[in-house]
Amino acid sequence: TPYMWMPGVSGPVYHNNTKIGDLNMSNGQVLDSLSIGAMLNGLVHYGRWGIMGNATYAKLRPSGTSSYQQGVNVDTDTTFWLGIYTVAGTYTAYADDSVYLDVLAGARFLNLNVKTALKGTVAATGYSADTTVYTQYNTTNPVAGVQGRIRMGESQFFVPFYLDVGGASQNSTFNSQQILGIGYTYKNIDTLLVYNNVYYKMNKDNFSARLDMGGPAIATTFRF
């Protein structure tokens, strides 16, 4: 299932208990800021058992970012590298002509790199216009959830859904992904229009952040 996801992205980034970035980007701004991106989802079944994988990678360089230093707003040049990868085993808990339900358990890996270059000087902090702060964040979390589809009457339309929750690690106290939308199936091809949301609450050493990404996605599934 290759797909195109256009989320809005929001959330603050802190370094040494000081907010160094406050990201708030609409769907259109994300598209304008996107340098490169790749998205792919896959599922393999053998009887009731299966394995699924999901990968999202993007490099963003938004315009108009800023850093708050001692009450002073300083313009910054910020670049984000983001990778989210999920792998899980699945088991078909229920299946008939109308409803298909998998339960799943696995892990999600997040890699977030942030480069923030200040364009001004704040004497009280020691940061000057040539200061660049690099922050790298990696976390792997167990996740568990459900996925499936509900057929709409006797038509070829269906409602796809996905929900997982995770956390319980030193670096990420909570994370979740939710997908809901509408799809149409034709022979061995499905087309889907869904809303996809990914949320992370993160902390590591002197770095903390909340990341909330949500927006529409278009996907095509090829069944073999």
Distance CA 192, CA 189 (A): 10
Residue 160 · residue 183 · CB < 8 Å = yes
Q: What's the alpha-carbon Rg for the chain, to the nearest Å?
A: 20
Q: Is the pLDDT of residue 67 over 70?
A: no
pLDDT digits (tens, 9 = 90+) for 10-20: 887 777 777 76
In sequence order, what DSSP letters do the residues of 8-51 get, joined into one string? EEEEEEEETTEEEEEEEE-HHHHHHHEEEEEEEEEEEEETTEEE
pLDDT of residue 135: 76
Whether 55 has a pLDDT exceeding 80, the answer reads: yes
Percentage above 90 pLDDT, the chain: 48
Pair of tokens at residue 36: 């490169």
Classified as helix, coil or strand, 62 is coil
pTM: 0.82
